[in-house]
Structures are given as C-alpha cells and as structure tokens.
Structure 1
Amino acid sequence: MAELVTILIDGLTYASWLFIVALGLTLVFGVLKILNIAHGSFYALGAYGAATMVAWFASMQFAPWLSLVAMLLAAVAIAAIVAPLTERGLLRFFYGRDEVLLVLTTNALFLIMEDLTKLIWGANPYFVSEPYALFGNVDIGVQSYVGYDFMLVGLAVTVGLAVWWGLNRTRQGKIVLAVIHSPEVAASMGVNVSRVYMVAFSIGIFLAALGGAFTAPMISVQPGVSVGVIILSFAVVIIGGLGSIEGAAIGALIVGMARSVAVHTAPVAELFAIYLVMAVVLMFRPEGLFQRIQARKI
C-alpha cells in the first residue's frame, strides 16, 4: 500500500510541472497553429532565470520565502523579454506559409537558444536549493514526502483553472476563441489578430518559463535540460489532443503516472512506458483524447 501511495504522489508531482509546460505548448498551437519546437528552450530559460534570481535574492539576504517571488519574477521577465523578440522579430514573417517551414524555423530557434544559454550561464550545473525546503515534509503513513511537491501540484491546478477561466469566462478569452476558430472572420469584425497572437504567444512562453522556474529546485539546471522537456510536452499534447486544455491535463496525468509506475517497477523502461502509452492512445484515438480543432498535417 505504501508503494502505491508513493507511485501516485510521484506521478502527480511529475504531471503537475509537465502540465504547466504542455499547457503553454498547446495554447500556442491552438491560437497560432505553430508546433513550437523551441518551447523546451523557454522552459530552460525559466529554470536558468530562476537559479539566477534566487541566488541574487539570497545574496541580498532577503527572507527565504521571497525565493518563490524570485522564481515567479524570473518567469515574467523571460516572457516579457523573449516573447516580443521571438514573435515580432521572427515568427510573424512566417505566418500563412507552409507548416514545415514553421517547424524548421522553431527548430533552428531551439538550436540557437541552446547555444545561447551555454554562452550566458556556461556548461556547469546550477542548483536552486532554498525554495525546496520552505514547505518542510509531509508524513503520509510511514513515508515522508517533500512539501514543495504538493505546492507544485497546487500551482498546476491554479494555473490550469486560471487559463480555463480566462479563455471561457472573460471577454478577452472570447476574442481569443474567435481567432482560434477563424482569424479572417475575427479580423473582419475588428479584432486585432496580430495583437492576439502576441498575447497568446507571450502567455505560452510564460507558462513554459514558469514550469522551468518552479521545477529548478527539483533538478540540476544544466545544458540539455530542454531536450527531454520538449519531447515529454509533445507526448502530453499528442495524447490529450492539440489545442485542448483538458487534454493537456489528462495527458500530463497519463504520462506522469506511466513514468512513475515504470520508475518504481522497471526503471530501465521509463521512457519506453511513456512512448508505449502514447502509441496505444494514438492507435484508438489518432486525433488525441480531447481534440477540439483539426490539426494541420505536416
């Protein structure tokens, strides 16, 4: 029984940060129709930015709980700086062109950003230990778990509900949904489609950076961390259905639980278990579990 509880908690913790990152990926696809290969790089920038901000806050001898604010500010800063440069300076020139060209463009951006992070932060790993100890330990049965993991689950739920509410219960969200369904009709009704693209892309980058920032205390932040994240994020959105918030949540839970079961029962099959689940889902639901919009073929 104790092992089952451990598997469930580990799977839920893993799914929580993965959902935040995948939510940004599926939002960008839903609005801009872009399969953003560089999404993992924004996650890495969030992790590196959080490591830098937390270290600076610690050097200034601020209260330890402010390290959480530092990580949030890092994600906001990454989105505020990188989003305009990427969307206005690069992607907007490729709207309406062949989808393969967009994939190649974001892949090139991914390679550039990988080298850029090495130039800025070097090749040595960074460790963000301060926030991880803020929530103490939680005892469940005979096992003790880190409280930070449960905070991360709460953050994922909060982010998911906030994005859902923003899209479905606000005027701005209705405008975004209109652009998703038909940019041409939305533009004819006076909607500034270019601005909607910019805002949606900024939120997508923020979510990726937020996932990276709040995952940084749990991992070693080092070059290459973005590669595994983008693969897992694509697995999540493919399982759940491109462009679906509900699909991203269910997909993240499936991937998280599959990985947790594999890690605790057959560690060598960790990645195999994820790809196996994805293959089984696509066999019966090629469009994903919660596909809402027709994915463009590449």
Structure 2
Amino acid sequence: MDLFLVQLLNGLVYAMLLFLMAAGLSLIFGLMNVVSLAHGSFFMLGAYIGLSIYQITNNFWLALVLAPIPTAALGMVVEILFLRPLYRRGHLDQVLMTFGFTFVFFDLVRSIWGSNIRNMAVPEALAGAVQIGAGIYPVYRLFLIAIGLALALILWLCIERTRIGAMVRAGVDDSAMASGLGANVPLLFTGVFGVGVALAALGGVAAGPIMGLYPGMDSEVMIPAFIVIVVGGMGSLRGAFVGSVLIGMADTFGKTYVPSMALFLIYLVMAVVLLTRPQGFFGIKHMGSSGNIPPRNAVATAPTTRSRIIGAMVVAAMAIAPLFVNNHQLTLVSEIFIFAILAMSLDILLGFTGLPSMGHAAFFGLGAYAVIVLASLFNVDPWIGVAIGVLLAAAGSAFVGYFCVSATGITFLMLTLAFSQLAYSVVVKWRDVTGGSDGIGIPEKPAFFIWSLESRMVMYYMTFGFFILCYLGLRRMIASPLGHVLVGIRENEGRMLAIGHNVQGYKLLAFIISGTIAGFAGGLYALFNGFISPDAIHWSASGDILIMVMLGGGGTLIGPAIGAAIFLLMKNLVSSYSDHWMLIIGCVFIGCVLFFPEGLWGTFRRLKPVRAS
C-alpha cells in the first residue's frame, strides 16, 4: 500500500481517538466553563475497567458498551461532590482540583491492575485485514475511523436537533437565562460531565487493542487532547472534530516524514493559534475566563517584633539542625530549600500578580540543563554554568512572557503550557546535547569556595543560605512600590490601567523575575543532584510546583516554601512507608483546595486569637 495512504488512514485513526477525548472535554468547558486535567484519567480508567469486563466475559463488545457506565458514574460523583463547590472560584481551583485527582486515579489504577503493560485482544470479527489499493490494512483500525465518525454525527444531531441539545446550547450561551426559563442547570451540568467522561472511557476501551494499557497512558493522550480543543476552540463540538483531524494528521505525517520535529510542530501550532486567535478556530469566549485569578492573600505585611523573633528562632534552629540529623535527612532538607526557592519564584507570578502559569518548570529546566550540559560537554565550571543558566532563564522568560502577558486567565495558563512543552520536545529530541529521555549528568560536584559540595553538610548550608537570601530579597521587593503594583494588577487590572500604570510592562517584569529565580533554582538543583532529565520540565512538573504554591498559600512567599516542604516530605517520607503515596498526596491536596482555598499558611495568618471579655 502506498505510504501516503497508510499514513492518511493512521492519521484518521489517531484523530478519531483524540476526538473521543476532546469532544467530551470541549462540551464540559463549553457548558460548564470547567477545565478538567483529570479527563485523561477517565480515559485510562475506562480502558482498565473495559479490560476487566473483557477478562470476565471474553467479549470485547460488552467491554466497549459497559465500561463507560461506571466510569461516567464516577465522573458525575466527582462533579457533584468536588467540582460543584468550585464553580464560583474560577479556573485555577478547577485545574488544581482535577490535577489532584490525576494522582488519586493513577495510584488506584496501579494498585488494582498493577504497573505492567496490559494488552486487550482485537475482537475476532475485526481481527483481519482488507485490501486497499496495492496493500492491506487492519480492519480494526478502519472500525475506529467509522466509530469516531459515527459518534461525531450522533453528537452533532443530539446537540442541534434535540430538546436536550437545545438546553445544552442555551446553557452554553447563557446558563443564568436558561435557568430562568426552567432548565435544571445543575442536573444539566452533571449530565454533560457524565457524557464527556463516558466518551473518554469509550475512547480508552477502543484504544486498548492498539495502544496497550499502562499507568500513565492518561498523560500520553491528555496533552494532545488539550491541543485539539485549543486549536479547534473550547466549547465547540465542530472545533473538537476539526482540531482532532488537524492534530492527528500533523502528528502522524510529522512522525513519518520529519520525526525529529513532529512533537515540536504540534506545540508550535497550539502556541500560534493561542497567540493569534485565543478562542481557537470555532471557540467561544467566556466572560469569566478572561480575568486574572481572584485575590486571596494580601501583599506581604511589614514584619512585627514578634514575627522577627519567631523568624530568628526558626533560622537559628535550621542553622544548628545538621548537628542532630542524619545524612539522608540533610539531603532531603537541602532539596526542600531548592524547591522552596522555585515555589517562591512562581508565587511572584501566581500569588502576587495573579497569572497562573502551567509552564514554570521550563525555566527551572533551562537553569539545570545549562549547568549539566556546559560541564559535561564543554568542561565549563558548574558555577559559571549556574550564572549562564540564570541568564538563559531570564532571556527565555522575557521571550515567552512577551507573547503570554497579553493573555489572562485560562488562555495565559494554556500558553505557558504550550511554550513549556515546546521546550520539553526540544530536550527530548536533542539527544546529542541533552541526552534525550535518558537525561545527562556531570562526573562530580564542584566546590563551594573551599568546601566540596560532595559533603552533605556543605550542600545543606549552601542551599539554606541561598534560600534565606532569596526570601529576604523577594520580601523586600514585594514590600516595595513594585510589589504593590503587582498586587494591584492581581486585584483589579482595569483600575491599574486606568490610573496610568503600564500593566503589560509590569506583568512582563514579574514574568522575567519569576523565570530568572526559577532558573537559579534549577542551577542549584543541578549542583545538588548532578543529573537532569526531561521529567524535570514536563507539564506535570509544573503542576507539582503549582501544588506547592497553593498548598502553602499563594501571595505569602513563606507559604509556598512551606508547601514545598510538605509536598517533598509527603513524597519522600510517605513513599518510604506506603506504596500509595500518590493517593495520599492527591487526597491531601484535594482537601486543601476544598477547605483551605488560601493555603495552609494563608489560612493560618487569618486566624485571630479570641480575647476574653
């Protein structure tokens, strides 16, 4: 068979699988204005539930029909109990909540079905191949194309030609008006969420025979699905279909004809579409999606005598801690100091300026890779590499920020995600320099003045000192007029613009400062770890940094540092006692988003002692 025709059919197969994911995701956003990072998890859950049904019944068709039902039921429970309380809070809490569920569902899948790759057999009726032109093509792949096209037609007819579809369209246009006219909007929300989850689960079962099943398959399909709805337009079924075909074809032909550029190209397409048409080709604009995240914590207040005393006591305790802890604990706390600097850098952007970035790990990676690559390939002193990494992170953040700061809300988040994944694709593909997916390391750690960083105590005091310097420097900046302007932009961007401030310039400055400090943290991490891999700049790593900031409390500086400590302590200590550390972290984070929207430190700051009368 002609290579072009084969790739055309393969592109359609991939496009239809993407459509099953993207259609539900797009419907959920269009009606509910909810961005769910857990949608890929429902794809994975549907695939595994389908596998269990297939193993019990030995019937693929029963698995295909039945697996979406319990998956959709689980999705509706999540919507009612966890997402519904967040509708008034904005996109960021929704993103964070659903990101927490990715931890929970990943652990559940690994616990129930194991970590090995599982296979689902192609049904016997579709196991053959058919003659097409001069060659043959698998029947099952043609079936996937047919089922995708059929579901696209059915969904279109339901939306455009039925009463329920009219209610959905009315809810998309104006949910308040639809409610006033008698539509049960909460029930409609739950139903649409369930349908979206069912479509994802159906896609997971259908993809099983050709993709295989493994924990982590959710992230493999989640980002391409997001690219689809960004390109086609959030909230548009037509956009989901067109976007799926475009991305499916681009990815398939790219991997065939320009494999080194394929991953880069689809992220570049996403970035270009967001920059030129933020709502996508057929998307709709939501009134509530354009602004920055709502304010939570006030600008850092001037330290009181009591807070200075407590701070001095904490610093003194940390200074003498190495005398009482073992080497493993020293290493863990050193890592906490580095990620505390990274979390504080994101807090400048997220907590004080109100810009939710999902690509902050890219600047961390720039700093780290500069140290490792220059030291390992060009024998450059690692400390010079740290300085170069900081400059690269500053330049990279200036470049990315120039394109991103004109956007706000979910568009800003998606743009930063796109640019971060562009960096990730470069690192993965540029094997000669970065080591690709295997990563790259340095032969030995350098000295800090006259002390070797091979000593864990030296590493501890070095990272502790840099953490204190970064905290004091950032606190001074936040207490300055610049910090007050950034908080003003977070709270009311329009007002700051009206009184004459160059809002775009200040946002770009905040972006550069944030990215530069992240690059410095990356350089320190390279010295600490002596190794770096693409995992450090993957979108999930940016999600971890978001968790740190929001867990401790954005807009407080010290809160994100506390959040970094809690996150890493749970990750390292809980994992040493239980294999279910991801489940525990996910549940803790979900609870924090629900009950402590200002973070643990932000909530603690608002607690006032009750005086006796």
TM-score, normalised with respect to structure 2: 0.46
Q: Who is 1:77 aligned against?
A: 70
Corresponding position: 1:220 with 2:225: no
Aligned amino acid, residue 44 of structure 1: M
CA distance in 1, matches of 2:279, 2:20: 21
Secondary structure, in 3 states, of the residue corresponding to 1:35?
coil
Q: Who is 1:264 aligned against?
A: 256
Indicate if the aligned counterparts of 1:258 and 1:277 stay in contact, CA closer than 8 A: no
What are structure 1's unaligned runs of at least 5 residues? 59-65
Q: Within 5 Å, which residues of 2 pair with 1:94-243?
A: 94-131=86-123, 134-243=126-235
Indicate if the aligned counterparts of 1:39 and 1:205 stay in contact, CA closer than 8 A: yes
Q: 1:273 to 1:95 in 2, by over 3 A?
A: same
Larger Rg: 2
Shift of 1:264: 1.2
Q: Who is 1:61 aligned against?
A: none
Indicate if the aligned counterparts of 2:63 and 2:205 stay in contact, CA closer than 8 A: no
Q: Within 5 Å, which residues of 2 pair with 1:2-41?
A: 2-41=2-41
CA distance in 2, matches of 1:183, 1:94: 16
Q: 1:289 to 1:132 in 2, by over 3 A?
A: farther
Aligned amino acid, residue 157 of structure 2: W
Corresponding position: 1:68 with 2:85: no
Shift of 1:100: 1.0
Deviations 1:177-208 (A, max 9, x none): 11111121112222111100110000010011
Indicate if the aligned counterparts of 1:21 and 1:43 stay in contact, CA closer than 8 A: yes
Deviations 1:235-281 (A, max 9, x none): 00000000111111110111111111112113233322211222333
Corresponding position: 1:53 with 2:45: no
Indicate if the aligned counterparts of 2:230 and 2:273 stay in contact, CA closer than 8 A: no
Aligned amino acid, residue 78 of structure 1: T
Shift of 1:129: 1.2
Alignment length, in residue pairs?
A: 290
Shift of 1:135: 4.5
Shift of 1:103: 1.1
Indicate if the aligned counterparts of 1:49 and 1:71 stay in contact, CA closer than 8 A: no
Secondary structure, in 3 states, of the residue corresponding to 1:144?
strand
Shift of 1:142: 2.6
TM-score, normalised with respect to structure 1: 0.92
Deviations 1:204-229 (A, max 9, x none): 10011011110011112001100121
Secondary structure, in 3 states, of the residue corresponding to 1:49?
helix
CA distance in 2, matches of 1:132, 1:148: 10
What are structure 2's unaligned runs of at least 5 residues? 291-408, 410-613
